[in-house]
Amino acid sequence: MGFNLGSYAYAISCENVVEVIPLIEFRPLPGAPEYVTGIFDYRGSIVPTIDLKMLSMKTPCSQTFGTRIIVIDYPSWDGNKRRIGIAAENVTTTFTAGENDFENSGVDLKNAPYLGKIVRHDGELVQLISVENLIAPEVQELIFAKR
């Protein structure tokens, strides 16, 4: 599933995607990291949401028609899954690429382990977001906490 963060193209594997929904208003979580935009009610479940542009570029997603919430099943450290929302811009495309189509970027970004391999698609470079590495361990503790 393809989307943008600013003027750059990214993608996540559709295998974890549950649904893509319009941008909605979130209930804020005071004290959470700035990229955790808040929570919302998704079909009877409370779902935390991450602003992917805020996480990676330190600026929030634009509030435009193409900005969407990608609801995913996030694999937690304890083997369970938790639904989370990912806010991203221009969530309008899907495309098919095989594992062999992706190349390493040549840069090891230790502060951004969620940034994965690169594929060429429609004349641009698209970077894969590794869902498994998206949330820092200390934030996982917040999201997966049982209270």
Check residue 132 and give its pLDDT.
79
* Reported pTM: 0.84
Check residue 77 and give its pLDDT.
66
Domain 2-143 sits in CATH 2.40.50.180? yes
Per-residue DSSP letters for 109-139?
-TT-TTEEEEEEETTEEEEEE-GGGSS-HHH
Spell out the domain ranges in the chain: 2-143
Check residue 41 and give its pLDDT.
95
Cβ-contact 39, 91 below 8 angstroms: no
Q: Give the C-alpha separation, 42 to 46, whole Å.
A: 6
Low-confidence ranges of the chain (pLDDT < 50): none
Counting beta carbons within 10 angstroms of the beta carbon of residue 107, is it exposed (0 to 12), middle (13 to 18) or buried (19 or more)?
A: exposed
